[in-house]
Every structure is written in C-alpha cells, then in structure tokens.
Amino acid sequence: MKMVTVEQAEKIVLAQIKDYGTEQMYFENALGRVLAEDVKADRDLPPYDRVTMDGIAIQFESFEKGNYSFKIIGTQAAGDTPIEITNFDECVEIMTGAALPSTTDTVIRYEDLNIKDGIATVTINTVTKNQSIHFRGRDKKQNEVVVKANQVVSPVIIQMTAAVGKDKLLVKKLPKVVIISSGDELIKVNETPTPYQIRKSNNYTIKAALQQYRINAEMIHIPDDAEITRKEIEKCLQQYDVIILSGGVSEGKFDYIPKALETCGVEKLFHKVQQRPGKPFWFGKHNNGVLVYAFPGNPVSTFMCLHRYFLLWLEQSLNIVKEPMYAQLNKDFVFNPALQYFLQVQLTINNNGTLLATPVEGNGSGDFANLLGTDAFMELPLEQNKFTKGEVYRIWQFSLASKW
C-alpha cells in the first residue's frame, strides 16, 4: 500500500468514529465527561421574586405619595415564608435571598435607611419601583433547557445541575484504552538506566492526555520479541476498545508491531503517512471493532499523531464539537521535503488580538524537551515549501487552555 496523505489518513481514521453508548453517573463525578442529555430547569430560575439587597420591602406607591417612614412589622430571612404588610406605611425588614412578600414591590437597602424604634426612614429621594428584586423566572423558565447535551461538563455545569436538583447525569461512555510501549532499551521510571538505555515516557504522556478526557488507560510494556508481542496484542484485542502503541513500526530489525498486528487479524487501514513527524504511523481495525493506533516511537511523532489523529477521533466519537483553530505564522519558514510538516510553535496574542505562532524548531522528533516551550503544531500545507510571516494556517494546540 502506498503512503497516504494527511488528509487521506484523517478521512480513514474518522470513518471509524464510534458511539460507545451512555451511562449514568453521580453529578459531582461528571466533571470533564461529555453530557449525553439536556438538563432542564425543574422550576423557574429564580424560583420566586428574590430580594437582592438587605434592607426593607415596601409598596412603591406609598413612597411615591410622599411617605418616607415605615413601621417594621417583622424580619424575614432567606428561606422564610413571606411576611405580608396590611398597611401602606408598613414594611418588612428583609434579607438578600428572601422571597419578596406579594404585598410589596420595592426593596430599599440599609445604607439608604435610618432605623430607630421600629421605624425605618428613607434617607434618599430617589427610589425606583421594583429595585433590588431579581424576579421569578427572569433567568430561566421551568422545563427550559439550561444545559445542552454534547458538551464537556464544566464547573458551571456542575453548579447548574446541583441547582436544578439533577443528581444523576447521563454521560457518554468512554472507550477502554490500553497503551502499549515496546523496546528493550526502555526501562521503568524508577530504575537506573545503563548508559545506553532510556526511561519510558511516551506512554505516560499518552496516558496523561487521555486523563484530560477522563479515560483511565491501562499501560503494558512488551519486549522486542515477536512471539510475546503477538500474544500480548491477542490478549488486548479481547479486552479493550482501542489499542495505542508507541514504537516498533518503522523498518528496524526489531520492529515487530505491524507484522504481529496483521497476524492477530488486525486489518491495516494505512501504514505511513506523508508527514513529518510521524511518517511510519500504522492504523488498523480488527473485525471485532477494536481500533489500533500504532504510533512511531519517536516521542514527538507519537505526541503529534496522538493529537492530530487519535484525539480528533476521540472527540468526534464523544460528540465533542470543536471549531478548528488557526494562527498567523510569525516568522518565515522553509521546509523542502515532500511531506506535510507539523511545525512546533509557541502561541502568543498580539495587541490586535491576533493569535501568533512563532516557530520553535527543536532537533527533530526525538527532541521531546522542545515540546515544553511550545504550545501547538502548525500544519503546513504539503503543496508549499516556503511559508511567509503573516500567513495563516491550522494549528493543533496541546498546551493546556489555562495558558490564557
């Protein structure tokens, strides 16, 4: 099979979008999950005419006719049953959050009153009818949708679901994912490497990226052994929805992955994409539905393919709707090979509000240290070799949104 373009690879990957169903969960645990139902207001919001200042509640008409002094007939806290007045010159001392008595229509705050011997005297001349009242149903009506389905549950959504008494939420189920690292040169994080060994790290960055979507992926390491590789993949095909591999997919003597996958009945949908980094990316599907993303082992290649293909597939499978992001190249750049280049860029916003992408090239796809100073990959078009400052291209952001 011929090498596919980035565009073709994306099409093939997105043709495998899958709905993993829904599940109910306690609302407090739903942060970061994708809501699979609309949430409606169980009653009007606010549910009653809500007082917004501590002070007194009066009938505006009384003040309008020249009455400045009101006899306090009671004190009403938030949560209390409203105390009704029976005379024009009466008032209720009332607290923020209390329900406005139906016989009153205006609230005057303590700062504008003088209270002595049970009489509240207004010390200002301008009072507006209905002031300091947040009227019932002003924000939302009963049964109105307050949170729409198909969005990631955020702190404000948690607040709203709490407020409308919805303690269980229907959310999208997440695929079961296993991350497989391979290579005899790789040791555990807490082991001491020989001069020629390195610590495993790609698998942790994948796991962490997936945790942002609340997926708790398992991790497995396999040695450079064809038979063990085959057996482990065989097992994973029975237990998971998605297998993500990192390493062992290029031309090396110990790159057993593509062969093992095909022996296990995983159909190759493509191997090799016309891109840098990440050229040897292998993607396939088992007839039981399990998808296999086998990323090239170089850390930046794995990281780029994860964002450009897997997370895109995941977001679309979970119905997370995201608009593509673009930025303006902030420096001329040249790339000659006939490959689609994913340039590492640092993002800043200039004083015109334009998102600028400054190239920070690094030392190739093994240089994962370079990722720390960058925020996104800028996808440069295949047809061009020269890219000029001021041109706008698509970006794939990986730094946390909290940067701004």
Ligand X SMILES: Nc1nc2c(c(=O)[nH]1)N[C@H]1C(S)=C(S)[C@@H](COP(=O)(O)OP(=O)(O)OC[C@H]3O[C@@H](n4cnc5c(N)ncnc54)[C@H](O)[C@@H]3O)O[C@H]1N2
In the complex, the residues that contact ligand MOO under the rule CB under 6 A are: 276-280, 296, 298, 301, 365
Instruction: Select from 55, 248, 258, 284 the one that contacts ligand X (CB under 6 A).
Output: 248
Spatial separation of the C-alpha atoms in residues 334 and 235, rounded to whole Å: 45
Stretch that binds ligand X, among 33-41, 78-86, 275-283, 285-293 (CB under 6 A): 275-283
CB of 293 to ligand X, least distance (A): 12
Site string for ligand X, 187-226 (x = CB under 6 A): -----------x-xxxx-----------------------
Token reading at 314 = 């995941």
Hey, how many other C-beta atoms are within 10 angstroms of the C-beta on 61? Answer: 12
Round to whole Å and give the CA distance between 182 and 179.
10
Which stretch, 23-31, 39-47, 134-142, 277-285, contacts ligand X (CB under 6 A)?
277-285
Establish if 275 lies at the interface with ligand X (CB under 6 A): no
Could you please report the per-residue DSSP string of 208-233? Answer: HHHHTTT---EEEEE-S-HHHHHHHH
Indicate whether 252 belongs to the interface with ligand X (CB under 6 A): yes
What does each C-alpha distance from 305 to 234, 267, 346 come to in angstroms?
24, 19, 19
For the CB of residue 365, give the shortest distance to ligand MOO in the complex, in Å: 3
The H-assigned helical ranges of 24-167 are 60-64, 155-163
The rounded distance, in Å, linking the Cα atoms of 229 and 222 is: 6
Asked if 62 interacts with ligand X (CB under 6 A), we say no
Question: Which of ligand MOO, ligand X, none binds 232 (CB below 5-8 Å, type-dependent)?
Answer: none
Residues 128-187 that bind ligand X (CB under 6 A): 181, 183, 185-186
Q: What is d(CA 202, CA 25) in angstroms, rounded to the nearest whole number?
A: 31
Q: What is the CA radius of gyration of the chain?
A: 31
Residue of 82, 101, 280, 359 that binds ligand X (CB under 6 A): 280
CB of 301 to ligand MOO, least distance (A): 3
Nearest in space to 222 (alpha carbons), one of 208, 241, 203, 207: 203
CB of 15 to ligand MOO, least distance (A): 23
Closest approach, Cβ 296 to ligand MOO, in A, equals 4
80 binds, among ligand X, ligand MOO, none (CB under 5 to 8 A by kind): none
Residue 359 preceded by cis peptide, ω within 30: no
CA atoms within 13 A on the CB side of 171: 27
Return the number of the residue (229 or 365) whose C-beta is nearest ligand MOO: 365
Nearer of residues 3 and 119 to ligand MOO, judged by Cβ: 3
Q: Which is nearer to ligand X, 203 or 330 (CB)?
A: 203
